[in-house]
Structure 1
Amino acid sequence: MQTYLLFAAAVIYIICASLPANRAAPISLGTAIGWLLHGAVLSMNIFAADALRLGFAFMLSATLWISVATYWLENRNFPLDSLRVLVLPCAAVSAILPLLFPGQVIPIPGKSVAFSWHIAIAVLAYSTLTIAAFHAILMAVQESRLHQHPLSAKKFFLGAAIDRLPALLTMERLLFRLIAFGFVLLSLTVLSGIVFSEELFGKAFKWDHKTVFTLLSWILFGILLVGHKWRGWRGRMALRFTLTGFTTLLLAYVGTRFVLEVVLHKGFA
């Protein structure tokens, strides 16, 4: 049954991504239904009595699940329909990915509530910064279209949707709002990770790839926010930092877990 629900969610996401922008009501309703199906199966699989099922596929699926919700809510306030074409196909793939890579069940009796909170905050941080990365890609395309010949710009398959985006300055404000919120969540992830690491390993940090990449991403986003505040960084500088920080964060958990689970066939570490 869960397999059918996940495939149904993936199909609904793809259909909603392919519908024309003037079908706003069916797109909104379909996205909500797909999101509910996706979330219900994730909840049934990740959370069990005194245990959590973790792995790169579940982390990626949960991240895209929250990203769909963020897109759906933001699109009601701003015309961000082109974000749909980027987010929903990725969410469709991530929805069925746990069927191929089921991860590992981690018993949690005796662990404090901080462990579960650490996982939840981390997923929220990754999701917020994932939407920021999609947002940055849209801004890069939007900026490039300003320098294109009108005839060549019309041939771009996202051209009409890009043209309906808010002005670049508005998009930039939205981007830094997302990054600032994501940075706060990422900071809480690092702090809660210290608490959890002390409980599990008896020291503040376990210096593995996940820790190094997470801290590097946190530093990059911090530098970007400081540079924007005090040096007026914007435009391509902001986009480069956003995409570099997101790529580093993606490598922090999803990338390292993929290598451990799929390439090296090792368990949770």
Structure 2
Amino acid sequence: MLRDLFSKKKKYATIPSDQVKMDIPEGLMTKCPKCKTIMYTKELKKNLYVCASCGYHHRMAAHERIDSLIDEGTFVEFNQDMISKDPLSFPTYPEKTNADRKKTGLNEAIVTGQGKMSNMNVVIAVMDARFRMGSMGSVVGEKITRAIEKAIELNAPFILFSASGGARMQEGVLSLMQMAKTSAALKKLDSAGGLFISIMTHPTTGGVSASFASLGDYNFAEPGALIGFAGRRIIEQTIRQELPEDFQTAEFLLKHGQLDKVVSRLEMKQTLTTIIDIHSEKFS
């Protein structure tokens, strides 16, 4: 009898794992890297790519971010057709940028333009880490500079979302020069009495964090964003000390006075609208 108990056939047949993979469309589900919750990608998108279980902020494409902030039908993009050249004849650089254009549908690592936010005119720039890890080459710096100049011309607030691995090594010193160029343009905006709101998202590092991303009249960041210049390991080797676990996170920077506020993506539009409304006399 005992033998019969263990030799009974299973009532339900198992489905091979390969078959399961074939039946579930790719991209239908997303697993949160922080809390490991598995959720419908469609539901995650509705929640602006913020995990409903733990609040983790997943990466967001530039146009999706713009759609979440700018009033429908009001966004006009600037300099959409600007494309990086290969000034140093760097091996495989053209092939890599071409591949990123096909993958992302973008010509560069930033989207700039103007539109209305809660019926108020703004100029906005959004970096996209899917394109060369959001690295800052000549075109990125030029598009930011032109957007700042447009904000001065229109007498509108300038809002910039950064997401970058830093300066683009394939363009050498030309990439590093964008740090000075964008910073000089922001000085012109400040002298003109303009408003610059900088929001750092995950990650914002290197030459971007050391230049325009840190020069806002308001400096914000999304929760958990990695923000810093050099890498953790390099800093530890240099100072010969172990760094805190939360070092270079948005929360660490806020605690040490390097940010004005850590703002959830779900509260971002309301926060920005409130700040622009406070300064509305500048733009009337």
TM-score normalised by structure 2 residue count? 0.31
Q: Which is richer in helix?
A: 1
Flag the structure with more relative contact order, 1 or 2, with Cα contacts below 8 A and sequence separation at least 6. Answer: 1
TM-score normalised by structure 1 residue count? 0.32
